[in-house]
């Protein structure tokens, strides 16, 4: 199994950080929906909560699933930014 740092380096080397093949689980989508609810839809608060969640994840596959869920739940622009947070956090 790759280390999280190796995984992040590989992902950040890809120009578009393609996670299109990753399917988020129901729990991943629920976590993103919970962030929307808790933040009241405020993008700054969403960013803060996503960053807190990303910092607590130590499994690269889980980070990929959460990034895919973020893109699905938050839409293209905000979702891409939130996915970046999950994919580029250093451990």
Q: Considering the domain boundaries, does residue 36 fall inside one?
A: yes
Please state, in angstroms and as integers, the Cα–Cα distance from residue 20 to each residue in 9, 41, 75, 91, following that order.
18, 25, 14, 23
For the whole model, what pTM was predicted?
Answer: 0.76
Share of the chain above pLDDT 70, in %: 78
Question: Given this model, what pLDDT does residue 52 score?
Answer: 96
pLDDT, mean over the chain? 82
Reported as a single tens digit per residue, the pLDDT across 14-53 is 434 567 788 999 999 999 999 999 999 899 999 999 999 9
Q: Considering the domain boundaries, does residue 21 fall inside one?
A: no
Q: Considering the domain boundaries, does residue 20 fall inside one?
A: no
Number of domains in the chain: 1
Q: Considering the domain boundaries, does residue 50 fall inside one?
A: yes
Q: Considering the domain boundaries, does residue 53 fall inside one?
A: yes
* Average pLDDT of the segment spanning 50-66: 94
Q: Considering the domain boundaries, does residue 19 fall inside one?
A: no
């Amino acid at each position: 199994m790759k280390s999280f740092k190796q995984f992040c380096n590989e992902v950040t080397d890809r120009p578009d950080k393609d996670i299109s093949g990753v399917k988020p689980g129901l729990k991943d989508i629920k976590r993103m929906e919970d962030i929307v609810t808790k933040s009241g839809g405020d993008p700054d608060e969403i960013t803060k909560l996503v960053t807190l969640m990303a910092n607590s994840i130590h499994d690269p596959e889980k980070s990929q699933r959460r990034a895919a869920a973020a893109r699905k739940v938050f839409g293209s622009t905000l979702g891409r930014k939130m996915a970046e947070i999950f994919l580029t956090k250093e451990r």
